[in-house]
Amino acid sequence: MKQKAIVIGAGIVGLATARALSLKGYAVTVIERTGKAVGASVRNFGMVWPIGQPAGALLSRAERSKMIWKDIADSTGLAYRESGSVHAAYYKDEWIVLQELYEIFKAEGREVELLDKKGVQEKSGATNPDNLIGGLYSASEMIVDPRVAIANIAAYLLEFLDVAFIWGKAVSAIEKNRVYDGSAWIEADLIFVCSGADFETLYPDLFAGIEITKCKLQMMRFTSNLPDYDLGASLCGGLSLIHYQSFKAAPSLNALAQRYQNEMNSYLRYGIHVMVSQHHSGELTVGDSHEYGLTHDPFDSAEINQMILHYLRQFAAITDWKLSHSWNGIYPKMTNGETHLFLHPSEYVYILNGLGGAGMTLSFGLAEECIHLL
């Protein structure tokens, strides 16, 4: 008889954990407090983003996650775009950083190209040509629509790996090897808590003692008035260069970051860096901001959205785009420099959490590594 495992949370971390446990031979049940996933896992770009991960374990984890994404997508008919990404330079110091990164990434074996102005415009159709110098293209990035993709993963686990789901039940207590879902106690040999920042309700003292916070992001989605509009590669402005860990390898990045601090302090205060990607349906996702703290205003800030759009217009031509949605999401993030949280608070219980904004990029690979350690 198979050993039983319970996974709390049906976001990307919980689903990735359920997959890894099932493949290791466990009979897995996922318990989700809402009728479908509605948290941070469906409120993001849908970017699988290896270019943002530094060489070594994190890049390998991202590449493994992408392979799993493609396997699931091909099995379920989930559409995805291997569009790659372009980071565009409009100032000399941005161009210097991109040239440095090109040499570093090329030496690491990444599939990258250094592009002139014409090359950038050919890779990404929205590029604003005014003052454009050049850009860095990476072929590794992949886009899914998270609102569709997360539901597809759950359907995949149910059909192909026989993972069971309990929807609309909130786990309010864990005792030894059992959980209480509001109406009954359910026993298992392993319990994984993968419910985002909500794990503080199950382990409030543990949460309070961890170097972790919550990040609120704001995003928007647009449609183009042009028929069959094709963005091409996902497009990123210069502020994204100071957001991702892998870019810290550039020797000139500190000087660029200092200029941004002097000239764009309000953007840095809200953690704004601006990117645009396109899903298979043609919709365009734009964002985002990063506000940190344990309690957030539940409402979107019009000022932040306007700042995002103002910066977007500097590197993207968006005159024919129409706003269709705006929203915010909240996810847990470590404050001590760690990329995730993996705890074993009691004999039967594990907590996997705190991936920050990299859940779509890293969860599948990370879950396999963590389950392998059991």
Residues in the chain: 374
- In percent, the amount of the chain with pLDDT more than 70 equals 100
> pLDDT by residue (tens digit) across 327-339?
999 999 999 999 9
Contact between residue 29 and residue 164 where contact means Cβ atoms under 8 Å apart: yes
> pLDDT by residue (tens digit) across 204-250?
999 999 999 999 999 999 999 888 899 999 999 999 999 999 999 99
| Cis peptide upstream of residue 198 (ω within 30 degrees of 0) | no
pLDDT above 80 for 90? yes
Q: What is 4-65+68-73+146-210+337-372's CATH number?
A: 3.50.50.60
Would you list the domain boundaries of the chain?
A: 4-65+68-73+146-210+337-372, 85-139+212-334
Nearest Cα to Cα of residue 166 among 316, 305, 35 = 35
CA–CA separation, 45 vs 360, rounded Å? Answer: 9
Nearest Cα to Cα of residue 171 among 372, 2, 10, 332 = 10
Tell me what pLDDT residue 196 has: 81
Helix 146-160 crosses helix 57-76 at what angle (to 10 degrees)?
Answer: 80
CA–CA separation, 87 vs 76, rounded Å? Answer: 31
CA–CA separation, 213 vs 337, rounded Å? Answer: 12
Residue 332 amino acid letter: P
CA distances from 233 to 84, 88, 126, 202 (A): 5, 11, 9, 41
Tell me what pLDDT residue 198 has: 74
Q: What is the mean pLDDT of residues 75-91?
A: 96
User: What is the dihedral angle through the alpha carbons of 352, 354, 358, 361, rounded to the nearest 10 degrees?
Assistant: 0
- CA 63 to chain CA centroid, nearest Å: 14
Q: Tokens 């060489």 label which residue?
A: 55
CATH 3.40.50.300 given to domain 85-139+212-334? no
Helices marked H in 223-271 — which ranges? 253-263, 265-269
> For residue 355, what pLDDT band results from cuts at 50, 70 and 90?
very high
Helices marked H in 5-116 — which ranges? 12-23, 57-76, 92-107
pLDDT above 80 for 197? no
CA distances from 65 to 28, 54, 197, 316 (A): 20, 15, 22, 29
- Is there a shared CATH topology between the 4-65+68-73+146-210+337-372 domain and the 85-139+212-334 domain? no
Nearest Cα to Cα of residue 84 among 120, 131, 42, 128 = 120
**Which pTM value belongs to this model?**
0.96
CA–CA separation, 206 vs 343, rounded Å? Answer: 10
Question: Which sign, positive or negative, has the C-alpha torsion 194, 197, 203, 208?
Answer: positive
Tell me what pLDDT residue 207 has: 92
What is the CB neighbour count within 10 angstroms for residue 249? 15
